[in-house]
Amino acid sequence: MNHPTITERLADPAEARESGRRKIEWARQHMPIMTAIAGEFREEQPLDGETVAMAMHVEAKTAVLTEVLAEAGAEVAITGCNPLSTHDDVSAALDAHEAITSYAERGVADEAYYAAIEATLEHGPTITVDDGGDLVMAIHDEYPELIDSIVGGCEETTTGVHRLRAMDDDGALRYPMFAVNDTPMKRLFDNVHGTGEASLSSIAMTTNLSFAGKNVVVAGYGYCGKGVAKKAKGQNAHVIVTEVEPRRALEAHMEGYEVCSMTEAAEKGDIFVTTTGNRDVIVEEHFERMSDGVVLANAGHFNVEIDLDALDDLAVGRTEVRDGIEEFGMADGRRINVLADGRLVNLAAPVALGHPVEVMDQSFGIQAVSVRELVENGDSYGPGVHEVPDELDREVAEIKLEAEGIETDELTDEQADYMDSWQHGT
């Protein structure tokens, strides 16, 4: 199969490259962790002879990770992990790199999206880097012959790790995968602060509306939901949380948020943000209760959290009222506005830039050292989902603290001994 690269598809690739290059350089300037790792990788060439396939949100920060892997000696083939999150200019700038091929293109239909994944795999990867699990699924379903030469892979997000764990439980996962999402350096920052800040800023930029004084409904009080709720509260919204997990619901209650069912929240909310990673969170019975003019956005990985088919069935008309906002007109005159086709709003809205650079510096720092670990010690990991070794997470945290000029205390020998001992009592 000969799927075209982004360069072959663009009318003016030179102009796109130039604009993409500026975005990448800006991101790199603000990524001290990636800068430190890149220095080490250029010198030691840990990925010499490896081929990395990536399916990720192709924007400036991801581009820095891609280039750092190439600078470490790898050949890299990349495509998107969502048809609306690619920045074509960044994709073109990557494709201009001699060791990188980019197939990512914004707005492609399903067929071209999956053809690009296959094209990426035809490079014969020895390592995969996924955000959502599409590469791993395609390899197991359609390219099982690649599995023997793959040393391992990394998964960026909660939904991807869920899919991998389900595969692993069924004995179907045939090579080692690091759950990068689950490291403290990723999940406590990217999912919480990144999703919180980036989702709210994308909603604000797309709608030009304020959160102050509004009822913001956050569906799911996991890592992402906590971030969205906290940042919305910080912008003077009244935050309402919906949950299915009793401890998480109680946590939200003790943080001072109103907690109720989606049925009740549907009547109160002005802005709804789904962060569950689950399907059918906002459905027909909820649309029927909503007020005129509500705004619905999803920040979970797949566009299954808001039941758009049911909304379409209820609607008497659909209008694009602003870039990235579709208004569904109800028979009774109410208008329900959906952002970015119900895809993750912080990456798929037309104005979206994804998470802040500093946050992705941490997430991608973990990705980079995890890829290095697979090459150096891949043999010691069997097929299945693995935690990223804690010392790698600490390594990245230490680089960041040093870059920020933050000093911490160190345990004395006596303290270390005390913490490790079961013999000390009162």
Torsion of CA 264, 265, 268, 270, to 10 degrees: -160
| Rounded CA separation 184/179 (Å) | 11
Residue (153 or 300) nearer to ligand NAI, CB:
300
- If one asks whether residue 80 binds ligand NAI (CB under 6 A), the answer comes out as no
Residue (36 or 179) nearer to ligand NAI, CB:
179
According to DSSP, the β-strands at 294-298 and 315-322 are unpaired
Q: How many other C-beta atoms can be found within 10 angstroms of the C-beta atom of residue 62? A: 32
Smallest gap, in angstroms, from Cβ of residue 219 to ligand NAI?
5
- Let me know: does 34 contact 64? Beta carbons within 8 Å: yes
Smallest gap, in angstroms, from Cβ of residue 301 to ligand NAI?
3
Residue from the set 102, 346, 362, 370 that interacts with ligand NAI by CB under 6 A: 346
Residue (100 or 203) nearer to ligand NAI, CB:
203
* 186 annotated to bind ligand: yes
* 278 annotated to bind ligand: yes
* 233 annotated to bind ligand: no
Smallest gap, in angstroms, from Cβ of residue 294 to ligand NAI?
17
Residue from the set 7, 62, 120, 275 that interacts with ligand NAI by CB under 6 A: 275
Residue nearest to ligand NAI (CB): 222
Residue (13 or 227) nearer to ligand NAI, CB:
227
Name residues contacting ligand NAI, limited to 137-176 (CB under 6 A). Answer: 157-159
Residue (243 or 361) nearer to ligand NAI, CB:
243
Residue (279 or 318) nearer to ligand NAI, CB:
279
Smallest gap, in angstroms, from Cβ of residue 268 to ligand NAI?
16
Residue from the set 133, 300, 324, 365 that interacts with ligand NAI by CB under 6 A: 300
* 342 annotated to bind ligand: no
Residue from the set 65, 115, 297, 299 that interacts with ligand NAI by CB under 6 A: 299
Residue (275 or 337) nearer to ligand NAI, CB:
275
Q: Which two structure tokens, joined as six digits, stand for 172?
A: 């179907």
* 260 annotated to bind ligand: no
- If one asks whether residue 362 binds ligand NAI (CB under 6 A), the answer comes out as no
Question: Total residues at the site for ligand NAI (CB under 6 A)?
Answer: 29
Smallest gap, in angstroms, from Cβ of residue 5 to ligand NAI?
26
**Contact pattern from residue 124 through residue 143 relative to ligand NAI, giving x for each residue in contact according to CB under 6 A and a dash for the rest:** --------------------
Residue from the set 31, 139, 281, 375 that interacts with ligand NAI by CB under 6 A: 281
Q: How many other C-beta atoms can be found within 10 angstroms of the C-beta atom of residue 106? A: 18
SS3 of the chain: the string is: CCCCCHHHHCCCHHHHHHHHHHHHHHHHHCCHHHHHHHHHHHHHCCCCCCEEEEECCCCHHHHHHHHHHHHCCCEEEEECCCCCCCCHHHHHHHHCCCCEEECCCCCCCHHHHHHHHHHHHCCCCCEEEECCCHHHHHHHHHCHHHHHHCCEEEECCHHHHHHHHHHHHCCCCCCEEEEHHHCHHHHHHHHHHHHHHHHHHHHHHHHCCCCCCCEEEEECCCHHHHHHHHHHHHCCCEEEEECCCHHHHHHHHHCCCEECCHHHHHHHCCEEEECCCCCCCECHHHHHHCCCCEEEEECCCCCCCECHHHHHHHEEEEEEEECCEEEEEECCCCEEEEEHHHCEHHHHCCCCCCCCHHHHHHHHHHHHHHHHHHHHHHHHCCCEEECCCHHHHHHHHHHHHHHHCCCCCCCCHHHHHHHHCCCCCC
Name residues contacting ligand NAI, limited to 41-70 (CB under 6 A). Answer: none
Name residues contacting ligand NAI, limited to 226-265 (CB under 6 A). Answer: 242-245, 248
Positions touching ligand NAI (CB under 6 A) are 157-159, 190-191, 195, 219-225, 242-245, 248, 275-278, 281, 299-301, 344, 346-347
Binding site residue list for substrate: 131, 156, 186, 190
Binding site residue list for NAD(+): 157-159, 191, 220-227, 243, 278, 299-301, 346, 355
